[in-house]
């Protein structure tokens, strides 16, 4: 029997003038609301940048991509940066690559790099 995947978790905080959304675990439609809520909080805070730490995400489907694309649009419209921080799991990289959306996002190798 395969091991049970870790539950999806999202928490957010402010660091160095950047709003950080840290996600971990497996993300599909059932977990989308957690991420949407945190990204909504980023919009309410209206800081110059939001870093989405995806280094702990082990699986993502179109629901995570949809949340990120909506956040990207809102950030771009309001003149703010949205940075995806890794290292990205191969399944996340594949999702962004196959859908042709990787080039739309600012990617940082690590959260530290995103906050620099």
Q: Tens digit of pLDDT for each residue in 47-60?
A: 999 999 999 999 99
Helix (H) / strand (E) element for 94: namely: helix 90-98
User: Which CATH number does 9-115 carry?
Assistant: 3.30.750.24
Where does the chain show beta strands of DSSP type E? Answer: 9-15, 18-27, 49-60, 81-85, 106-108
Does the pLDDT value for residue 3 go beyond 90? no
What does the pLDDT read at residue 30? 85
Which sequence spans correspond to the domains of the chain?
9-115
CB 57 within 8 Å of CB 21: no
Query: Residues 29-46: pLDDT tens digits?
Result: 888 899 999 999 999 999
Query: Residues 87-113: pLDDT tens digits?
Result: 999 999 999 999 999 999 999 999 999
What does the pLDDT read at residue 114? 98
In sequence order, the β-bridge partners of residue 57 are 25
């Amino acid at each position: 029997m395969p091991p049970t995947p870790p539950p999806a978790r999202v928490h957010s905080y402010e660091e160095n003038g950047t709003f950080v959304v840290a996600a971990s675990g497996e993300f599909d439609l059932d977990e989308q609301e957690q991420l949407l809520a945190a990204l909504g909080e980023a919009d309410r805070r209206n800081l110059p940048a939001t870093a989405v730490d995806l280094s702990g995400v082990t699986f993502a489907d179109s629901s995570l991509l949809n949340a990120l694309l909506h956040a990207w649009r809102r950030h771009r419209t309001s003149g703010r940066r949205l940075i995806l921080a890794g290292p990205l799991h191969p399944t996340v990289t594949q999702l962004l690559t196959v859908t042709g959306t990787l080039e739309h996002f600012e990617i940082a190798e690590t959260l530290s790099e995103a906050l620099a």
